[in-house]
């Protein structure tokens, strides 16, 4: 997500607001502060060990301004590797936000998330909750639901009443 310079943010670094919002939010999104591990039969499992997310903040090179990246920054973004940092040994980390500040005052927020934890809609809800908490609310207006059993396979139906109208008639 790309944000141009805003005079209201003069002297304020957005990474601090984002990090504070994430700290409040991880109470509700606690699996994102966990690690993925491989269980029996190569099944991915969440190890809720409270190790936390890896939050990275950086400054772009002095000669790089947000406007120089172009007006059409969309997939496949040629700067993706620069805006999403890959830390060696961080494969099990579920959430890794990176905030990069540019000399022009604009900034970029990149998130490295494991898709096994949330889809695009879940990520949208995550960002909405983060925005609400950064603005000072004590809890997200829509709480996440972490009930994997809701998606479990159900038992096959059993026939309790015979419907002869569906019997095959021969001849």
What pLDDT is attached to residue 44? 81
Edge to edge, what strands does the sheet with 107-113 contain?
Answer: 2-3, 107-113, 95-101, 56-59
What pLDDT is attached to residue 31? 81
Which regions in the chain score pLDDT beneath 70? 1-3, 5, 9, 11-12, 62-93, 170-171
Q: Hey, where are the domains in the chain?
A: 2-166
Is 3.40.50.720 the CATH classification of the domain at 2-166? no
> What burial letters (b/e) apply to 38-69, b meaning 16+ CB within 10 Å?
eeeeeeeebeeeeeebeebbeebeeebebeeb
**Contact yes or no for 84/112 (Cβ under 8 A):** yes
What pLDDT is attached to residue 76? 59
CA–CA separation, 40 vs 14, rounded Å? 42
What pLDDT is attached to residue 87? 62
* Cα angle, residue 135 at apex, residues 132 and 136 outer, rounded to 5°: 95
What pLDDT is attached to residue 72? 56
**Contact yes or no for 100/107 (Cβ under 8 A):** yes
CA–CA separation, 71 vs 115, rounded Å? 28
CA–CA separation, 144 vs 29, rounded Å? 7
CA–CA separation, 57 vs 60, rounded Å? 10
What pLDDT is attached to residue 15? 78
Phi, psi angles (nearest 5°) of residue 157: -70, 150
């Amino acid at each position: 997500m790309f944000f141009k310079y805003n005079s209201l943010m003069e002297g304020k670094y957005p990474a601090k607001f984002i990090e504070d919002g994430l700290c409040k939010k991880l109470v509700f999104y606690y699996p994102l502060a966990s690690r993925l591990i491989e269980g029996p039969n190569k099944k991915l499992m969440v190890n809720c060990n409270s190790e936390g997310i890896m939050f990275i903040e950086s400054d772009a090179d002095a000669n790089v301004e947000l406007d120089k990246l172009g007006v059409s920054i969309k997939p496949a973004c040629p700067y993706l590797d620069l805006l999403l940092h890959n830390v060696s040994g961080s494969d099990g980390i579920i959430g890794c936000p990176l905030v990069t500040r540019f000399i022009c005052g604009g900034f970029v927020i990149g998130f490295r998330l494991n898709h096994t934890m949330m889809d695009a809609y879940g990520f949208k809800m995550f960002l909405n909750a983060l925005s609400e908490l950064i603005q000072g609310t004590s809890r997200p207006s829509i709480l996440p639901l972490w009930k994997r059993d809701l998606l479990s396979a159900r038992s096959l139906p059993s026939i309790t009443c015979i419907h002869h109208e569906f019997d095959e008639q021969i001849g």
